[in-house]
Amino acid sequence: MLILGIETSCDDTSVAILRADPPSQRLRRASDKLEVLANVVSSQIVTHAPYGGIVPLLAAREHERNLPLVLSAALSSSKGLTMRDIDLIAVTSGPGLIMSLVRGVNFAKELARKYNKPLIGINHMEGHIYSNFLSTIHYPLFPALCLIVSGGHTELVLMRDHGQYELIGHTVDDAAGEAFDKIARILGLGYPGGPAIAAEAAKIENVNLKMKNDNVKLKIELPRPMLHSKNFNFSFAGLKTAVLYLVRDLTAPLDDVRAEIAHEAQEAIVDVLVSKTKKAAEKFKPKSILLAGGVSANKLLRSRLQELCSMLHVLCSIPPLEYTTDNAAMICAVAYYKTREEADLSAATRRWRAEADANWEIA
Ligand code: KG4
Ligand code: ZN
């Protein structure tokens, strides 16, 4: 079975092709074998960087221009496959920027009509979760506690089985990725902020070694919002404001302390994410902890979560780096698990919606 995935929820245009086992073989297997034949991502960072964030109108225009190019790149890198070989088209339908979503959904509908293929709309956040099912080494065990951290979402979700989600915590204001992006802007670092802050913070790791030897401590301390609250919710707006005031009231040049602030901001965000996950894991006793979303590319977060999992003796599932930020391979993976019991995809297509919905929540 070949699934073509299309992802345009934000500022990345991506098309992927996934090969999955045909039904007869699949049912006899203990685990599903998925093979990503292509996962082409066209980034719009260069377009949006001068504005310090995503400009929705520009994003939509870029998707429109890039979609046919990214599709042909995906097909030609997949052993000469053509649209006729595809069994199912999957497209991200939400949540995301409405104008971006509409471009992808319309493109997918047009392809489905032209080549007479079944079409299914996929939730973007579910896509991030399923980036953990693309690697064939360790499949997450259920129940899984999912820490979803992206530019627009920060959620703790309990996943009892495929497609079954219970929201147990969420951000009450900014998402973790948004905090990285906003703090990066205050510090005069580039867009996207996550990788920029991580790179700036890494400068301090090196200096830190020297400082530790000299017994010098870092001076800058930022708050860990809601660290001790009784629920599993997050808040990052206060942290951003604390950085804003810190920079406003600096007596030293920002150049002298930028790396130190970036280092402490990253520590604060990761501390909160990992502590809340620990609390939730102690209550819900999952068999695996699963990390998802663009912020899962963060090295510090990846290693702290791994440490937590070893301490709690639960399986740790962290997506390979190439599937952490927005990509269409993860959309194909959701489509596969949603449709693998269907005997007739064409008949089932009438039940599946593929309409852009900017606010589509999974739980
Ligand atoms: O999932 P994603 O690609 O797009 C959304 O669905 O929002 O996530 C994008 C977010 C951005 O806020 C970006 O700054 C953050 O992921 N991000 C990172 C890293 N790489 C991307 N945050 C921290 N460290 C990183 N290495
Ligand atoms: Zn995303």
Report pLDDT digits (tens) over 264-286: 999 999 999 999 999 999 999 99
What was the pLDDT predicted at 129?
Answer: 97
pLDDT class of 307 with cuts at 50, 70, 90: very high
Look at residue 138 and tell me whether its pLDDT is greater than 70. no
Mean pLDDT, range 70-92, rounded to an integer: 96
Look at residue 216 and tell me whether its pLDDT is greater than 60. no
Nearest CA to ligand 1 atom 23: 194
Look at residue 212 and tell me whether its pLDDT is greater than 60. no
Structural contact between residues 188 and 261, judged by C-beta atoms closer than 8 angstroms: no
Structural contact between residues 270 and 262, judged by C-beta atoms closer than 8 angstroms: no
Look at residue 98 and tell me whether its pLDDT is greater than 90. yes
What was the pLDDT predicted at 57?
Answer: 96
For a ligand 1 pocket test, name from 7, 39, 150 the mutation site with the most ligand atoms within 8 angstroms of its C-beta. Answer: 150
What was the pLDDT predicted at 22?
Answer: 63
Mean pLDDT, range 294-307, rounded to an integer: 98
- Encode pLDDT of 8-30 as tens digits: 999 999 999 999 976 566 555 55
Look at residue 218 and tell me whether its pLDDT is greater than 60. no
For a ligand 1 pocket test, name from 325, 359, 360, 361 the mutation site with the most ligand atoms within 8 angstroms of its C-beta. Answer: 325
Residues ≥6 apart with Cβ < 8 Å to 343: 23
Nearest ligand 1 atom to the CA of 151 is: 7
- Encode pLDDT of 325-345 as tens digits: 999 999 999 999 999 888 899
Nearest ligand 1 atom to the CA of 124 is: 6
Report the amino acid identity of residue 93.
Answer: S
Structural contact between residues 89 and 332, judged by C-beta atoms closer than 8 angstroms: no
What was the pLDDT predicted at 110?
Answer: 98
Nearest CA to ligand 1 atom 2: 294
Look at residue 349 and tell me whether its pLDDT is greater than 70. yes
What was the pLDDT predicted at 140?
Answer: 85
Look at residue 169 and tell me whether its pLDDT is greater than 80. yes
What was the pLDDT predicted at 210?
Answer: 54
* Backbone φ, ψ for residue 138 (5° rounding): -125, 115
What was the pLDDT predicted at 23?
Answer: 56
DSSP strand E in the chain: where?
2-7, 12-20, 34-43, 88-94, 119-123, 144-149, 154-161, 164-170, 288-292, 315-317
Q: What is the DSSP letter of 172?
A: S
Look at residue 211 and tell me whether its pLDDT is greater than 80. no
Alpha-carbon distance of 267 to 258, in angstroms, equals 14
